[in-house]
């Protein structure tokens, strides 16, 4: 029995109403990790918007940090860390990000800030705690492209860290001016996956750069994995001692140990007690790349078809946020989201099955009016939204369970070879 896990479960059982109910049938002794029921994300986040009476919390929030996960400020779920937990979070991630850097690197932090987003603050904290000397330039994602190019030359910046959308915008600016930045030797991306045509554009703008993951974490679950130079795109290694990563079969709940078999990535965070995260389905599909061992490598393989948070462009979307709008239409039999890549951008398709003919154009406008973040990405040319009618028989179901998949992710997540 992992002593950290035992202490975490005991704490959650005695102090968190959510886990007290979830573990009401758990024996005092003799249980293992796989005996613990999975946390249902819909139940887990219910009541998180106010924090005052959120059953997940194990104590009142009196000292710490509040961040947002998914949705707008009014709709999004709120994720909290005690001050000590936040420090542990960024320190561990800093040890991971250091594997992608070298002493003396000068790093432009191009992640998001404001509106309770955590990414810029998180990467800032990780770089501040990296176990090697680096210099950080926290520009945020809103820096002007021309100003950033000038700053890179002026301050001898050799590493960029940001979300793909920001990195690609900057690369597009450079290639439009027939400019390359040969001094940039490291480009670290996070928050969403990179695709083949995007990698090609980055290599065109930064021909000397190694393009790699900054690491894998989320504001809701916490630490997921770190990447080292031996990892291909999409591959990460487990943060041993700080988190427990499981890959389980979506239909049977069976724990997967063999390499190459895809399943749902489930996380237990051993750092967090204020907002315990125990056997939490992240919504990611993954497979093991190596047999069990220290720093075991796994590969992310897109989003699972089970209604958890999905990532399209720069947006984190909980599919159930669409449910209140769609439930107004009593004629609907089923609905499903399909994510594809077209012409270098994500395409979000909403498939609807109905007993009568639907006005898909009007429904698309309803979705845009209700989901301002989707509307903004569409207006900026960073996302396509398509609403179409189909039959229930043509919708995608799980190959083993036969259940309707809420999300079908058709984006190509095949990793490239590791770069020198």
Q: What is the pLDDT of residue 419?
A: 39
Q: Which residues contact 268 (CB under 8 A, 6 or more apart)?
A: 5, 8, 33, 243, 244, 246, 277, 278, 279, 280
Answer positive or negative: Cα dihedral of 81, 85, 90, 93: negative
Percent of the chain with pLDDT over 90: 60
Q: Give yes or no for residue 174 having a pLDDT over 90.
A: yes
Average pLDDT over residues 229-250: 94
Q: Give yes or no for residue 417 having a pLDDT over 60.
A: no
Q: Give yes or no for residue 319 having a pLDDT over 90.
A: no
**Nearest CA-CA partner of 134 in 98, 169, 175, 82:** 98
Q: Give yes or no for residue 231 having a pLDDT over 50.
A: yes
Residue 120 · residue 111 · CB < 8 Å: yes
pLDDT tens digits, residue range 271-297?
999 999 999 998 888 999 999 999 999
Q: What is the pLDDT of residue 391?
A: 82
Lowest model confidence (mean pLDDT) among 169-178, 328-337, 349-358, 391-400: 391-400
Q: Which residues contact 47 (CB under 8 A, 6 or more apart)?
A: 53, 54, 55, 56
Q: What is the pLDDT of residue 99?
A: 96
Q: What is the pLDDT of residue 39?
A: 95
Token pair for residue 124?
Answer: 């800032």
Q: What is the pLDDT of residue 245?
A: 97
pLDDT greater at residue 365 or residue 419:
365
Q: Give yes or no for residue 74 having a pLDDT over 70.
A: no
Q: Give yes or no for residue 201 having a pLDDT over 50.
A: yes
pLDDT tens digits, residue range 13-34?
999 999 999 999 999 888 999 9
| Residue 68 pLDDT class (50, 70, 90 cuts) | confident
DSSP letters for 147-212: HHHHHHHHHT--EEEE-HHHHHHHHHHHHHTT---TT--EEEE-SS---HHHHHHHHHH-TT-EEE
Q: Give yes or no for residue 418 having a pLDDT over 50.
A: no
Average pLDDT over residues 161-171: 87
Average pLDDT over residues 34-41: 94
Residue 303 · residue 407 · CB < 8 Å: yes
Can you tell me the distance from the alpha carbon of 12 to that of 37, in angstroms, rounded to the nearest whole number?
Answer: 13
Token pair for residue 72?
Answer: 């707008």
Q: What is the pLDDT of residue 420?
A: 33
Domains of the chain: residue spans and CATH? 3-86+220-303 (3.40.50.12780), 101-215 (3.40.50.980), 318-409 (3.30.300)
pLDDT greater at residue 402 or residue 153:
153
pLDDT greater at residue 126 or residue 311:
126
Q: Which residues contact 200 (CB under 8 A, 6 or more apart)?
A: none
Torsion-angle region of 264 (φ positive above 0: left; ψ -120 to 50: alpha; else: beta): beta
Token pair for residue 140?
Answer: 């945020």
Percent of the chain with pLDDT over 70: 91
Average pLDDT over residues 342-349: 87
Across the chain, mean pLDDT equals 88
Q: Give yes or no for residue 363 having a pLDDT over 80.
A: yes
Average pLDDT over residues 61-89: 82
pLDDT greater at residue 310 or residue 285:
285
Can you tell me the distance from the alpha carbon of 377 to that of 353, in angstroms, rounded to the nearest whole number?
Answer: 26
Instruction: Return the H-helix or E-strand segment holding 355.
Output: none
Q: Which residues of 121-141 are buried (b: 16+ CB within 10 A; e: fewer)?
A: bbbbbbbebbeeebebbbbeb
Residue with tokens 């077209």: 342
Q: What is the pLDDT of residue 65?
A: 95
Residue 186 · residue 101 · CB < 8 Å: yes
| Residue 151 pLDDT class (50, 70, 90 cuts) | very high
Strand partners, 287: 299
pLDDT tens digits, residue range 240-265?
999 999 999 987 889 999 999 989 99
Can you tell me the distance from the alpha carbon of 210 to that of 198, in angstroms, rounded to the nearest whole number?
Answer: 14
Can you tell me the distance from the alpha carbon of 246 to that of 415, in angstroms, rounded to the nearest whole number?
Answer: 21
How many helices, marked H, and strands, marked E, lie in the chain? 11, 20
Q: What is the pLDDT of residue 73?
A: 37
Angle between helices 145-155 and 164-176 (to 10 degrees): 90
Q: What is the pLDDT of residue 79?
A: 92
Can you tell me the distance from the alpha carbon of 382 to that of 373, in angstroms, rounded to the nearest whole number?
Answer: 11
Q: What is the pLDDT of residue 172?
A: 87
Can you tell me the distance from the alpha carbon of 117 to that of 124, in angstroms, rounded to the nearest whole number?
Answer: 13
Q: What is the pLDDT of residue 416?
A: 45
pLDDT tens digits, residue range 99-121?
999 999 999 999 988 888 889 99
| Residue 402 pLDDT class (50, 70, 90 cuts) | low
Torsion-angle region of 395 (φ positive above 0: left; ψ -120 to 50: alpha; else: beta): beta
| Residue 375 pLDDT class (50, 70, 90 cuts) | very high
Q: What is the pLDDT of residue 76?
A: 61
């Amino acid at each position: 029995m992992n002593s950290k896990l035992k202490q975490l479960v005991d704490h959650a059982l005695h102090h968190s109403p959510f886990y007290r109910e979830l573990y009401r049938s758990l024996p005092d002794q003799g249980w293992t990790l796989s005996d613990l029921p999975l946390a249902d994300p819909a139940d887990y986040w219910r009541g998180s918007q106010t924090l005052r009476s959120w059953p997940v919390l194990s104590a009142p929030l009196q000292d710490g940090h509040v961040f947002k996960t998914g949705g707008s400020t009014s709709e999004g779920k709120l994720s909290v860390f005690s001050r000590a937990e936040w420090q542990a979070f960024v320190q561990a991630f800093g040890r991971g990000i250091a594997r992608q850097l070298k002493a003396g690197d000068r790093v432009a932090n191009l992640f998001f800030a404001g509106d309770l987003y955590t990414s810029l603050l998180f990467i800032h904290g990780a770089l501040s705690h990296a176990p090697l000397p680096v210099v950080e330039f926290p520009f945020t994602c809103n820096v002007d492209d021309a100003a950033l190019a000038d700053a890179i030359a002026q301050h001898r910046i050799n590493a960029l860290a940001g979300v793909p959308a920001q990195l690609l915008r900057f690369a597009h600016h450079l290639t439009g001016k027939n400019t390359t930045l040969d001094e940039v030797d490291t480009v670290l991306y996070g928050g969403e996956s990179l695709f083949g045509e995007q990698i090609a554009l980055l290599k065109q703008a930064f021909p000397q750069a190694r393009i790699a993951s900054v690491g894998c974490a989320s504001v809701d679950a916490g630490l997921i994995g770190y990447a080292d130079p031996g990892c291909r795109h999409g591959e990460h290694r487990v943060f041993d001692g700080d988190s427990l990563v499981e890959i389980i079969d979506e239909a049977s709940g069976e724990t997967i140990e063999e390499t190459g078999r895809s399943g749902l990535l489930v996380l237990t965070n051993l750092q967090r007690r204020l907002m315990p995260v125990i056997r939490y389905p992240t919504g990611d599909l993954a497979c093991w790349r190596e047999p069990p061992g220290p720093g075991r490598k796994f590969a992310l393989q897109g989003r699972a078809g089970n209604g958890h948070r999905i990532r399209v462009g720069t947006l984190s979307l909980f599919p159930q946020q669409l449910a209140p709008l769609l439930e107004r239409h009593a004629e609907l039999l089923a609905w499903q989201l399909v994510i594809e890549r077209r012409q270098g951008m994500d395409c979000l398709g909403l498939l609807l099955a109905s007993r009568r003919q639907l006005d898909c154009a009007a429904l698309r406008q309803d979705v845009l009016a209700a989901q301002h973040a989707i509307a903004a990405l569409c207006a900026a040319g960073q996302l396509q939204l398509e609403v179409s009618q189909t039959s229930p028989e043509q919708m995608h179901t799980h190959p083993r369970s036969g259940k309707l998949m809420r999300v079908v992710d058709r984006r190509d997540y095949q990793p490239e070879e590791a770069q020198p």
